[in-house]
Amino acid sequence: MAQEKLGQIGIGALGQHFAARFLKAFGQVLVHDVDRGKVLALEARGATAAASSRALAAESDIVLLSLPSPGAVRSVMLGDDGVLAGARPDTLVIDTSSIDPLTVETVHAAAKARGVRYLEAPLTSAAPGSPGIEAARNGTFTVLIGGEVADFERGRPVLDLIGETLIHLGPAGSASVMKLISNSIAEIYTLAVAEGLAVAAAAGFSAERTLEVLSQSVARGYVLDEDLRPRVMARDFEPGFTVDLIYKDMRLAGELAQRLRVPMLLNGVTLEVFQALRAKGRGHMDHNEVVNLIAEQAGVDIHEPREREAD
């Protein structure tokens, strides 16, 4: 990285931590975001602001994307003032956004036509104590890679600051498939735990006691122990990985399955539960807010359970 200039587009909940790590490691990073306040905060820490995605790409050898949706990626990459409008041949784009494989393939083809390298690198959590925001802060994500091996190797100095495990899965589009599958499984699991907590509360067991038992049972797992349990115990449902974002990933997973003619019954049910949260104006909250929704529907307080009936 000593001779390559790094630019980053998107400095939201995860991206702000990536940029901070890049500044510490490389001493510089060029940044752009539609939220000027976020840009100013990073400028105060030593980053340099770019006026647009196009301007950032024109000055960067490697461009990292951290964006919230397929639409945002298409706009930033393909727009008149986007990355491909300004990037030089052999610029490497590393896209950490969670998007669908069709968008990845479309953007990859457009980049290739202009001589720009494109590597998809969606993120998932696996390190103990580091789900979501903590993984971004600590650089402990598992990074799923789709694209050319040579581009993967070139991007390693950047990727190593984001994740402690890097998995190359094949051509562009491969990593997004696996990311959507992973998130779908994780949220189905989260919903199952939410239902279990509601039943336990109705039967007289607090969430604290139930989670203690589940963590020592066949139901234990990373989602329960490292993500859901800390949130529930602290009664903290402020934004981390939000309901809106997981709804987007679940929807994309379902659309992928439809194209492949594979039924995803549990994905569909879980998607509708998260849609119910969005309908109640809770899309901005942490995805574990589903625990509270299920408890409300059951008429229970998971922290103050009903008294258990005597035998």
- pLDDT tens, residue by residue, 140-187: 999 999 999 999 999 999 999 999 999 999 999 999 999 999 999 999
Q: What is the mean pLDDT of residues 77-103?
A: 97
Average pLDDT over residues 280-307: 95
Written as one letter, the residue type at 204 is: G
Mean pLDDT of 37-46: 94
| pLDDT tens-digit series, residues 178-221 | 999 999 999 999 999 999 999 999 999 999 999 999 999 999 99
Whole-angstrom distance, CA of residue 121 vs CA of residue 63: 12
The per-residue pLDDT for 104 is 98
pLDDT of residue 286: 93
Predicted local distance difference test score (pLDDT) of residue 118: 98
Across all residues in the chain, what is the average pLDDT?
95
Q: What is the pLDDT of residue 309?
A: 64
Cα–Cα distance, 265 to 15 (Å, whole number): 33
Length of the chain: 311
Per residue in 216-268, pLDDT tens?
999 999 999 999 999 999 998 888 889 999 999 999 999 999 999 999 999 99
